Amino acid sequence: MTRIIQLTDTHIVPPPKKVSEVLDTYSLFEQAIEKIKQDLPKLGQIDGIVVTGDISDHGDVASYEGFKQVIERLAIPYHVIPGNHDLRSSMHQCFGEMIDVNQSEEINWVAHFHDIDLVGLDTVIPGSGGGRLSPSTLQFLASSLDKSSDRPALIAMHHPPFESGIQFMDAIGLEGVNELHEILTNTQRDVRIICGHLHNSIVCSVGGKTVMSSPATASSFVTDHRQDAPVGFTQNTGGYMLHEWNNGFRSTYLSLAESGQLFPF
Cα gap 139→69, rounded to integer Å: 34
Give the residue from 33, 89, 79, 30 showing the smallest Cα distance to 59. 89
Give the list of residues 6+ apart from residue 154 with CB closer than 8 angstroms, or none.
4, 50, 116, 117, 118, 119, 191, 192, 194, 243, 245, 249
Q: Which domain holds residue 180?
A: 2-255
Distance of CA 140 to the CA centre of its chain: 18
What distances in angstroms separate CA 127 from CA 31, 83, 133, 136, 184, one per listed residue? 30, 11, 15, 19, 28
What is the tally of helices (H) and strands (E) in the chain? 6, 13
Evaluate whether residue 116 is within a structural domain: yes
Q: Is the peptide bond before 16 cis (omega within 30 degrees of 0)?
A: yes
Task: Please compute, for residue 169, the number of CA atoms within 13 A of its CA located in the half-sphere on the CB side.
Answer: 25
Evaluate whether residue 265 is within a structural domain: no
Evaluate whether residue 200 is within a structural domain: yes
CB atoms within 10 A of CB 205: 12
Rounded to the nearest integer, the mean pLDDT of the chain is: 96
pLDDT at 100 (0 to 100): 59
Q: 34-61, pLDDT tens digit by residue? A: 999 999 999 999 999 999 999 999 999 9
Provide the 8-state DSSP code for 132. E
Evaluate whether residue 261 is within a structural domain: no
Count of structural domains, the chain? 1
CATH of residue 6's domain is: 3.60.21.10
Cα gap 72→180, rounded to integer Å: 33
pLDDT at 96 (0 to 100): 84
CB contact at 8 A, 207 and 228: no
Q: 93-111, pLDDT tens digit by residue? A: 999 887 755 557 899 999 9
pLDDT tens string for the chain (265 positions)? 999 999 999 999 999 999 999 999 999 999 999 999 999 999 999 999 999 999 999 999 999 999 999 999 999 999 999 999 999 999 999 998 877 555 578 999 999 999 999 999 999 999 999 999 999 999 999 999 999 889 999 999 999 999 999 999 999 999 999 999 999 999 999 999 999 999 999 999 999 999 999 999 999 999 999 999 999 999 999 999 999 999 999 999 999 999 889 999 9
pLDDT at 121 (0 to 100): 98
Evaluate whether residue 163 is within a structural domain: yes
What is the chain's length?
Answer: 265
Q: What is the pTM of this model?
A: 0.97
CB contact at 8 A, 161 and 210: no
pLDDT at 101 (0 to 100): 56
Evaluate whether residue 99 is within a structural domain: yes
pLDDT at 98 (0 to 100): 75
Evaluate whether residue 262 is within a structural domain: no
Evaluate whether residue 263 is within a structural domain: no
pLDDT at 97 (0 to 100): 81
35-43: Cβ within 8 A, 24+ apart: 35/256, 35/258, 36/5, 36/74, 36/240, 37/73, 37/74, 39/254, 40/74, 43/3, 43/242
